[in-house]
Amino acid sequence: MASASDAPLGRPTVYADAYDAALLHAVPRARGRSVWVPEGAELPFFGEDVWHCYELSWLGQQGLPRIALARLRVPCDSPAIVESKSLKLYLNSFAQERAEEDAVAALLARDIGKVVGCEVAVELLDARVPTATCVSAGECLDGLTPTVSEYRCDPALLRTATERGRDCVHTNLFRSICPITGQPDWGTITVSYAGRRLGREDLLAYLVSYRLSPGFHEDAVERIFVDVRKATEATELSVHGRFLRRGGIDINPFRSMEAMSAPLERVPRQ
């Protein structure tokens, strides 16, 4: 499998004018997980990544362009993810192809599934109809005022009390850095858990500490999950990242101790 450094992200590219599945580039999940999930170990979570792709267009049989919003659902136990710019280039390669909508969806599922190494669910949504939005679950942490001086991921900030309880909170202040281009990735993170109680200001300071930390969206959410689970000795835990659109794609990783589907609603910022 090719390395992330071979991906088109961060490089000048030419947009293809003919369908080309070879444009898709895989990034092994094991590379990002190697720090907190030993090779061969069972994953400590269930979940999936929900991708919304806004730059999809092809030609109908009469030559008139068609558009759709593609929703992709990739299980978190897939061997790889698809590199986002390669997906953008692949989707744009449909621009001059004549096809029926069902055939486009079937090609997406086949091609992307082959790259990530598992079955991928694909829906083509009517781009004229707004997708459902929601306010993030739980209480917002953004009004708190912790003293913050650490901007590289620091799990030591997760200080817990002896008593146990449950909490559900979110922040819109999350920022991390793309490990390839150095561009910022902005998102809303929701954490719901039952376990040893975390101080909310400490949790916010921890989430803010990702501000200069490099990592793909999926890596950030999984590290948050692992760190919070360890600190709280959680019996229930889910972490949901809803990242803002970049390159015509928004990515929404969801990880949980319980086998369940990711919420599909988007936040207003998206």
Which residues participate in catalysis according to the annotation? 178, 185
SS3 89: helix
CA distance 32 to 6: 16
Distances (CA, A) of 142 to 42, 78, 173, 241: 34, 34, 7, 16
- Give CA–CA dist 8/262, Å, rounded: 29
Comparing CA positions, the residue from 133, 123, 15, 107 lying closest to residue 69 is 123
Cβ-based neighbours of 246, under 8 Å, separated by 6 or more: 84, 183, 185
Per the structure block, which two tokens stand in for 7? 């991906």
Residues 135/142, Cβ–Cβ less than 8 Å: no
DSSP state letter for 238: E
Cα separation, 93 vs 57, in Å, equals: 9
Nearest to 240, CA basis, from 216, 224, 259: 224
